[in-house]
Amino acid sequence: MTASNPQDFLPFVRPQINAATIAEVGKVLASGWITSGPKVQAFETRLSALFGGRPVRTFSNGSATMEIALRIADIGPGDEVITTSITWVATANVILTVGAKPVFVDVDPRTRNIDLDAVEAAITPRTRAIIPVYLSGLPVDMDRLYDIARRHNLRVIEDAAQAIDSRWRGQRIGAFGDLVSFSFQANKNITTVEGGCLVMNTPEEALRAERLRLQGVIRTGMDGMDVEEPGGKFNLTDVNAAIGLAQLETLDAITARRARLATLYFESAARHGLADLGIELPLAIDPTLATTNWHMFQVVLPTDRLQGGPAQARQLVMEAMRAQGIGAGVHYPPIHLFSYFRSLGWREGMLPHAERIGRGILTLPMFPAMQDADVERVCATLSETCKRLSL
């Protein structure tokens, strides 16, 4: 039955902003200080504590964090940066922004994260950095990643946009490693509406990040001002930081609820025979090695077994589910096949796992306010839809 009441529509994500947070935002607006100020400082202090005392600076978005990380690593024209094609296009765009060359490698078909064997094979004398992406919050093999980086003298800029509160061997992502970038965009596990943060290694890196996020300006005394290198306009506001402070208070509960929803998804998927239909579920990780924050619950559709084939099957599934009042998302099509990257020489067949996953990946609803029964409804609808569209 088609969902006729808009209130019955289940989106793939819904941010949660409670009344207390709205009241805090009101206080900031009434204070007369609404740009970067005491709330930003408090937010950065709390984030630093979350990441084991490492230096943290906040930014207006999670793309700026990666651009600044590349600049801190002194990466620019003539340099190569290895990354994945299954990501939001910002991951590659920031590499281009600093004048470097993105080098895409294939993904592991089970984790859907960057294939570290392919990373090592792609290293050349021009390679300066690796940008792994933790899809749905799932970390890569961090031991292997940093072993490769050490042996080849490479910087690591972790695109941990989706990985707040994910862990590797019990350590929170961001509490160790090199430069680690998080996003607080509206669909992330915790949000500042728009925003992000960069975790760094030294006070010197943090000071440079401060300058680069606000036009490179260096202030001294009451009226002294200088610029030694150009920056951008990437500062977070106190309005955003007030939201972030409130969201941090609920981080443990958010992570726990998402883990529970993921368990329900696996149980419901088994009841409705999703695997028997050729639908690939996320990888169930050994919790002693890695724990994900379950930022998203993603399946891969068997597009070659459904009406519409690889070009249209996902669209048909999404349309059918929407007609039943269920939203779904696409995260992500393989960006090396976007027109701009084709102009740089990338073609079909170069990254076969990424291309197959990118054609069929589907993000199912996942947010803490979901009811347990919503998970059952999603899996039942997906199962019925794929049976009806099967060739």
- Catalytic site positions: 188
Give the integer Cα–Cα distance in Å for 114 and 205. Answer: 27
Q: What is the dihedral of CA 14, 316, 325, 364, to 10 degrees?
A: -40
Strand partners, 257: none
Measured on CA atoms in the order 348, 349, 350, 352, is the torsion positive or negative? Answer: positive
Q: Are the C-beta atoms of 300 and 360 separated by less than 8 Å?
A: yes
Cα–Cα distances in Å, from 227 out to 67, 204, 231?
19, 16, 9
Alpha-carbon gap, residue 151 to 142, rounded angstroms? 14
Q: Which residue, 24, 72, 30, is CA-closest to 234?
A: 72
Q: Which helix (H) or strand (E) holds 220?
A: strand 217-220
Those residues whose C-beta lies under 8 Å from the C-beta of residue 64, and which sit 6 or more positions away, are 196, 213, 232, 234
314 close to 360: Cβ distance less than 8 angstroms: yes
What tokens appear for 195 in the block?
């925003």
Listed in sequence order, the residues at least 6 apart from 28 whose beta carbon sits closer than 8 Å to its beta carbon are: 34, 39, 238, 239, 242
Helices (H), the chain: 19-31, 38-50, 62-72, 90-97, 116-122, 142-152, 203-212, 238-249, 251-271, 309-323, 339-343, 352-360, 372-389
